[in-house]
Structure formats: structure tokens, C-alpha cells
């Protein structure tokens, strides 16, 4: 094959309002449209005139970089920098994020009669969740802009990631958490990495509201997913996934929904690949929420995505315990553009799905398991067909939330018993007899 000589340049970007469409070059600390106060997204006007060779050349460059040990090439975010905002190399804050495995499921594939069922395990990122791809991108922008403090509100994973990346960048971090509602593993990470952790007597939505007040008065860079640069990092999962699938677009990608940044980012990533000609079609991106924290499900069902219906959230999948999601408009666009579904699953269905994944050696946190629970419903409804390729995005590592496991009836956990060989052998004989 001839090598295409063209070297794609990194395009300049602007910020466009997702509601009124107004374009602005910079944003204030709240990352809101100056005209209507809605969220902004990063766009790259120069791509509209990109020649068809651009797509081919990109695939080639990204493949070549996989063999490189330079930090900006081994990062699963910055390796795709032609499709990211331009930053000088010295500002890049990376811990080799991304690069997560795509693993076929066997047992679930068999029981669901869905031979092409895979999980993209974003829990294998440096701090154990998909947040790292977004935080790498956004904290890089913070560094380039000269900030020394960063901040976020979080159900836990964002705080762990912000704390770690801030420490790497020699910045200070502030995290606001809903008191008593964050899994211990996530809280431990934020503390270990030296964040200033404030536990507030409210839920995630309350923490985000307070953070807005903090950012207005205090010079700290906001790292929640309403920051459009977060989503630029998170969209790279679409690029990496397509490389792993040799650019064959799956019929379905299924993701859990909380504040709805991740589904928005995934949709944006696929749309950009399609618009640039790297892929010819879009997967259907479906969003799954816990039934007790289902604002998007209700919004789609009750008014077709026109106005957000807020809910008071309650679920043991604490990562997605969110009732007033910031990126709901973006998520509605993803559903409408790609034709995905929005489904809710019960606590029991989440626990069952998590146990099934665990039984084939794939650990994840409860929010991530909602994807498998949702898939079962989409299969039953005939929305997913057995010949389809389906990718479940597992968003967090199993060890993040071990308390969840402790509350389930542990059928395989025996003892304490005497440290006596005969007693142990008698017990094992009973176990053997049961199998
Ligand atoms: N899965 C996990 C493990 C999460 O931590 C989150 C969000 C989601 C799914 C939902 O993603 O918000 O982009 O729709 N966690 C945030 C946090 C809110 O603060 O860690 P989303």
C-alpha cells in the first residue's frame, strides 16, 4: 500500500452551545454559553474541508504510535491527538490512560444466544474507572491555562481520578462528595492522592450546585463533565474500540448513565469518526439507568427528550445515583442521532448481572453491570438481535465498591471454622457432592 504523504495537522477548535448553537472561542470557568447558559461542546470547523485521505492517514499514524514509548503516544487519549484540542506537549498530563481491554463474554454470550458479545473494560484505567481519559484531557487544559487548583463534585470515581491526576501535575485538588454515599475504595483513593475532601450533607446533585458557587469565588478549574474538554478525552474510547474491532462498527454499544457525560462523549466520538470518513455507519448507543435514578428514562418516555424530568435518586449503584444530570441534552442528541434505546433496570437486575459477569471472571462495579442487565431487556424487546455485535462499556473496577459485595448473600463464603485439615476436607466433600 502506498503511504499517503499528507501529515494531518491538529485543527483549531471552537466551543459551540448545544442548545442555541452560538459559537465562542473561549469559555468562563462555568463552561456555559454566554447567550443561553447551556452546555458547550468542542468542535473543529476545519474538519469540514478535510480531504478523504485524512481518514486513511489517521488510521496509519495511530497504528504507528502504538509501538512508541513516548508518553503522548502510549496514552490511549493523546495517541489520537489529531482529533483533540491542540496543547503543547509539555502540558500533557498522562498516566497511559485508555488502552483498556476488549474481552469477549462466554457464559453470557451462551445464555443470551448472542455470540458476539464483548466488554470494553474501562475499569482497567490507572485509577480504575473511565474518568481517567477525560481527566487527562481536561487537567491538561487546566495546566496549559496556568491553574494550580482543580475541583470537582463526585459520586466517587471522578474524585479519585481528579486527585491522582492533580498529584501527577503537582496541582492541588478539591473534591465535594455526598457524605456517606461514596464507596470506601473511591474515598480511599481521593485521600491517598492528597485531595482536599469535603463531605457535604446532600447528594451528588447538591454537591454540583455548591461547586458552582465555589468556582465563582475561588480560582479553581472545574473538572466535572460539564467541562467540554472532559468529553474530548472520554470520546477517545470510541476510537480505541474501533481500532480493536478493526474498524468494523458494532450494531450496539451499551453504557450506564449517571450525569450523562460518558454517553455524550461516546456518541460524539463515533459521530466524528463517521463525519471524517473513518467509519461508514454509527452503532446504536443505548443508555441504561438504575430504576431509582432514572431522569433520562423518564425524560425520553414522558416528553421525548424535550425537558429534563428531575428525580430524587436512590440506588445502591452509588456511582449513578444522580437525579439532575448536567449533560442530559447531549445524551438526548446521542440517542436521537444514533437510534439507541434508554432503559432502566432494577436493583435486583443489577445485582444479578454483576454476579453473572463475576462468574466469568469479569469484575466491575454495580453501575457498570447495569449494562448487562439493560442488554437483557433490549434483547427481550427485540431491539437487539442475536446476530448483532454488542459491546458493553464497563465503567469501573470491581474493587471500587467491595461493600456492595459484602451486603449480598455470599454463598461461597464459609467459616470462620477450625484450622483443622479433617474439618476442611469434610466441607470440601460436601461442596464436591453439590456440583
Ligand atoms: N459508571 C461509573 C462507575 C461511574 O463512576 C459513573 C459516574 C457512571 C457510570 C456514569 O457516567 O456520569 O458520565 O453518565 N460517576 C461520576 C463520578 C458521576 O462522580 O464519579 P456519567
Cα–ligand 1 centroid distance for 62 (angstroms): 28
Q: Which tens digit of pLDDT belongs to each residue from 7-26?
A: 566 779 999 999 999 999 99
Distance CA(146)–CA(154), nearest Å, equals 24
Q: Which tens digit of pLDDT belongs to each residue from 143-174?
A: 999 999 999 999 999 999 999 999 999 999 99
* Atom 6 (ligand 1) nearest CA: 319
- Cβ-proximal residues to 9 (8 Å cutoff; 6+ apart), any chain: 82
Cα–ligand 1 centroid distance for 258 (angstroms): 5
> What integer is the mean pLDDT of 356-366?
97
Cα–ligand 1 centroid distance for 141 (angstroms): 21
- Cβ-proximal residues to 115 (8 Å cutoff; 6+ apart), any chain: 109, 386
262 lines ligand 1 (CB under 6 A): yes
> What integer is the mean pLDDT of 178-197?
98
Phi, psi of 173 (to 5 degrees): -125, 145
Cα–ligand 1 centroid distance for 413 (angstroms): 30
Confidence of residue 247 (pLDDT cuts 50, 70, 90): very high
pLDDT confidence of residue 6: 52
- Cβ-proximal residues to 361 (8 Å cutoff; 6+ apart), any chain: none
pLDDT confidence of residue 182: 97
The three cell numbers of residue 195 are 485531595
Q: Which residue would you say has higher pLDDT here, 236 or 415?
A: 236
Q: Which tens digit of pLDDT belongs to each residue from 250-279?
A: 999 999 999 999 999 999 999 999 999 999
> What integer is the mean pLDDT of 309-324?
97
- pTM of whole model > 0.85? yes
Cα–ligand 1 centroid distance for 158 (angstroms): 7
Distance CA(216)–CA(147), nearest Å, equals 15
Cα–ligand 1 centroid distance for 319 (angstroms): 5
Distance CA(235)–CA(244), nearest Å, equals 15
Distance CA(23)–CA(272), nearest Å, equals 18
Top mutation candidate among 183, 227, 259, 373 for ligand 1, by most atoms within 8 Å of CB: 259
Distance CA(236)–CA(129), nearest Å, equals 14
Cα–ligand 1 centroid distance for 32 (angstroms): 21
Q: Which tens digit of pLDDT belongs to each residue from 60-102?
A: 999 999 989 999 999 999 999 999 999 999 999 999 999 999 9
367 lines ligand 1 (CB under 6 A): yes
The three cell numbers of residue 267 are 456518541
- Grid-cell match 474491532, residue found: 245
* Atom 3 (ligand 1) nearest CA: 396
Q: Residue 3: is its pLDDT beyond 50? A: no
* Atom 11 (ligand 1) nearest CA: 258
Please answer whether residues 206 and 177 qualify as being in contact, where contact means their C-beta atoms are separated by less than 8 angstroms.
Answer: no
155 lines ligand 1 (CB under 6 A): yes
Q: Which atom of ligand 1 sits closest to the CA of residue 396?
A: 3
Confidence of residue 5 (pLDDT cuts 50, 70, 90): very low
Q: Which tens digit of pLDDT belongs to each residue from 320-340?
A: 999 999 999 999 999 999 999
Amino acid at each position: 500500500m502506498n503511504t499517503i504523504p499528507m501529515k494531518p495537522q491538529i485543527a483549531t477548535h471552537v466551543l459551540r452551545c448545544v442548545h442555541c448553537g452560538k459559537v465562542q472561542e473561549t469559555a468562563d470557568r462555568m463552561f456555559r454559553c454566554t447567550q443561553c447558559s447551556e452546555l458547550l461542546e468542542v468542535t473543529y470547523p476545519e474538519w469540514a474541508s478535510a480531504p478523504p485521505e485524512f481518514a486513511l492517514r489517521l488510521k496509519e499514524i495511530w497504528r504507528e504510535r502504538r509501538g512508541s514509548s513516548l508518553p503522548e503516544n502510549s496514552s490511549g487519549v493523546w495517541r489520537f491527538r489529531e482529533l483533540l484540542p491542540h496543547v503543547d506537549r509539555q502540558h500533557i498530563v498522562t498516566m497511559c490512560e485508555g488502552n483498556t481491554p476488549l474481552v469477549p463474554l462466554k457464559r453470557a454470550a451462551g445464555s443470551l444466544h448472542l455470540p458476539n458479545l464483548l466488554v470494553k473494560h474501562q475499569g482497567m484505567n490507572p485509577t480504575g474507572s473511565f474518568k481517567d481519559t477525560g481527566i487527562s484531557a481536561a487537567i491538561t487544559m487546566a495546566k496549559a491555562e496556568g491553574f494550580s487548583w482543580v475541583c470537582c463534585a463526585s459520586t466517587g470515581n471522578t474524585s479519585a481520578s481528579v486527585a491522582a491526576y492533580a498529584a501527577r501535575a503537582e496541582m492541588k485538588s478539591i473534591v465535594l462528595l455526598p457524605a456517606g454515599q461514596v464507596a470506601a475504595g473511591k474515598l480511599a483513593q481521593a485521600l491517598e492522592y492528597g485531595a482536599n475532601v469535603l463531605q457535604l450533607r446532600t447528594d451528588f446533585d447538591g454537591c454540583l450546585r455548591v461547586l458552582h458557587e465555589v468556582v465563582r469565588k475561588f480560582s479553581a478549574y472545574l473538572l466535572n463533565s460539564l467541562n467540554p474538554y472532559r468529553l474530548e478525552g472520554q470520546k477517545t474510547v470510541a476510537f480505541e474500540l474501533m481500532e480493536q474491532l478493526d474498524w468494523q462498527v458494532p450494531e450496539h454499544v451499551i453504557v450506564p448513565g449517571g450525569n450523562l457525560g460518558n454517553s455524550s462523549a461516546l456518541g460524539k466520538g463515533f459521530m466524528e469518526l463517521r463525519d471524517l470518513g473513518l467509519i461508514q455507519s454509527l452503532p446504536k448507543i443505548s443508555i441504561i439507568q438504575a430504576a431509582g435514578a432514572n431522569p433520562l428514562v423518564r425524560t425520553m418516555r414522558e416528553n421525548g427528550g424535550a425537558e429534563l424530568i428531575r428525580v430524587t435518586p436512590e440506588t445502591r449503584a452509588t456511582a449513578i445515583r444522580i437525579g439532575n444530570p448536567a449533560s442530559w441534552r447531549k445524551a438526548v442528541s446521542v440517542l436521537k442521532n444514533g437510534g439507541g434505546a434508554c432503559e432502566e433496570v432494577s436493583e435486583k437486575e443489577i445485582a444479578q448481572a454483576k454476579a453473572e459477569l463475576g462468574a466469568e471472571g469479569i469484575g466491575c462495579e454495580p453501575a457498570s453491570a447495569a449494562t448487562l442487565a439493560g442488554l437483557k431487556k433490549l434483547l427481550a424487546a427485540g431491539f437487539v438481535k442475536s446476530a448483532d455485535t454488542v459491546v458493553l462499556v464497563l465503567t469501573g473496577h470491581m474493587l471500587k465498591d467491595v461493600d456492595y459485595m459484602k451486603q449480598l448473600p455470599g454463598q461461597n463464603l464459609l467459616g470462620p471454622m477450625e484450622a483443622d485439615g479433617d474439618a476442611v476436607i469434610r466441607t470440601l466433600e460436601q461442596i464436591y457432592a453439590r456440583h
